[in-house]
Amino acid sequence: MFIMVPMSQNTRCLTSLVEKCREENEIGQRIMILELINRLLPIETKLAIPSLITNSCVDTILSALEVRLSPPIYNQV
């Protein structure tokens, strides 16, 4: 049996922005969305975004964010 932990409003917003960033094709727009996501993150989890960034780098950052934002799943026996 799995217990789902409800997501906070901020986490839902961040998850939505990550999805929007993944769907965007233009690198300039992707970077703007990524910077917005970074501004919404708590200070202790802010990202160090390099000044020269590629689509591959954005995808890597988004994947790491998705792992951080996904709620923990507890397995009960």
Write the pLDDT tens digit of every residue in 7-66.
477 888 999 999 999 999 999 999 999 999 999 988 888 888 888 999 999 999 999 898
Pairing of strands 2-3, 74-75: antiparallel
Report pLDDT for 61: 93
Q: Which helix (H) or strand (E) holds 34?
A: helix 27-40
CA distances 32 to 7, 14, 24, 35, 64, Å, are 24, 14, 11, 5, 18
Report the sign of the C-alpha dihedral through residues 40, 41, 47, 53, in that order: negative
Judge whether residue 74 has pLDDT over 80: no
pLDDT in the model for residue 2 = 39
3-state class (DSSP) for residue 74: strand
